[in-house]
Amino acid sequence: MQNLARYWATGYDWRKAEAKLNALPQFVTTIDGVDIHFIHVRSKNPNALPLIINHGWPGSVLEQIKLIGPLTDPVAYGGKAEDAFDVVIPSMPGYGFSGKPTTTGWGPEHMARAWAELMHRLGYRHYVAQGGDWGAFVVDQMGLQAPPGLLGIHTNMPATVPADVDRALQIGAPAPAGLSAEEKRAYEQLAHTFNVVNYARIMGSRPQTLYGIADSPVGLAAWLLDHNDADAQPAAAVASALDRTKSKAGELTRDEILDNITLYWLTNTGVSASRLYWEYKGGFFNAKGVKIPVAVSVFPGEQYQAPRSWTEKAYPNLIYYHQAEKGGHFAAWEQPTIFAQELRAAFRPLR
């Protein structure tokens, strides 16, 4: 942290990140009393499929901006014209340049309704939605609500865990009998995850006692970074970037990590972003009962690799399932080329 803070104070240049953001068309609209900031880039292809993409915590719209080119102009990135998307990337309430709710109730369920309203305001009669991390919760809720015009969703953190497995995980019991080798591996990964998410429990119970991260930039940086667990995901890619000064394909850099942290600092959203954990009262990886078309990409560095067997039961209208070769919890940020390819393939059946 001392090394990072020293570089942040003396060598880092926020203006570069600012220029990247300012090069994109950004807007603000008010939904249910809260200002919603969003990036909106239309493809030149008149038949482009509208897509709303949801970030998570401790992320921001900076996670997804590398996707904009490959999705809106696929030909320029080795794809086909018919795979073009119009892209909408909102900042969640309490995050980034969106407003901070002053009343309770802005959980994933409310955000799902807000994103449907946003796409309606933009004039889209049909669209698809994508999410990872908290964004995965939002798109699952969109799938449950099934608003008019929503053709399907894509998730890279699917909620597939069967009820008996979820019960065992909640009480720390052994895995239920009869699991396949792939399912046992997923159970072990989830059991490990539940043992290392105390930061989420703190935010879920007393988020507003974290005011220290609103007062200290180094405190905020430490809170947003300290999720590395013996070089396991979700934060291994983030932690390994702390000393990386030059970008390589599929690798984050120190500046990219600081771009995201600086956005939290400048907008004073460390505490307001944490409240989402308090708002949500449902389960995390348990199957939710989504019936609309669903596409799933499983990344090798995710918190768990959702088995196809669980995925098919959790999402009975599964239109796509693929295990990507690289990438982790921050897959869109780490592996934008692979992620864009996943989205093209995932939504092709819905065009």
What positions carry a catalytic annotation? 133, 277, 329
To which residue do tokens 């864009």 refer? 340
User: What are the C-alpha distances in Å from 88 to residues 38, 51, 68, 107, 147?
Assistant: 7, 6, 9, 20, 17
DSSP class of residue 81? G
Q: How many CB atoms within 10 Å of residue 247?
A: 13
Question: Can you tell me the distance from the alpha carbon of 144 to that of 159, in angstroms, rounded to the nearest whole number?
Answer: 13
Q: How many CA atoms lie within 13 A of 184 on its CB side?
A: 6
Q: Are 151 and 142 in contact (CB under 8 A)?
A: no
Q: Are 57 and 134 in contact (CB under 8 A)?
A: yes
Closest CA to 275 of 99, 155, 38, 64: 99
Helix (H) or strand (E) holding 116: helix 108-121
Q: Are 11 and 243 in contact (CB under 8 A)?
A: no
Q: CA-based Rg of the chain, rounded to a whole angstrom? A: 19
**Alpha-carbon torsion, ordered 267, 196, 233, 99, to 10 deg:** -20
Closest CA to 253 of 239, 273, 267: 239
To which residue do tokens 């060598």 refer? 11
Partners of 130 in the beta sheet? 53, 154
Helices and strands: H and E segment counts in the chain: 16, 8
Task: Taking the CA atoms of 69, 227, 239 and 11 in sequence, report the sign of the dihedral they define.
Answer: positive
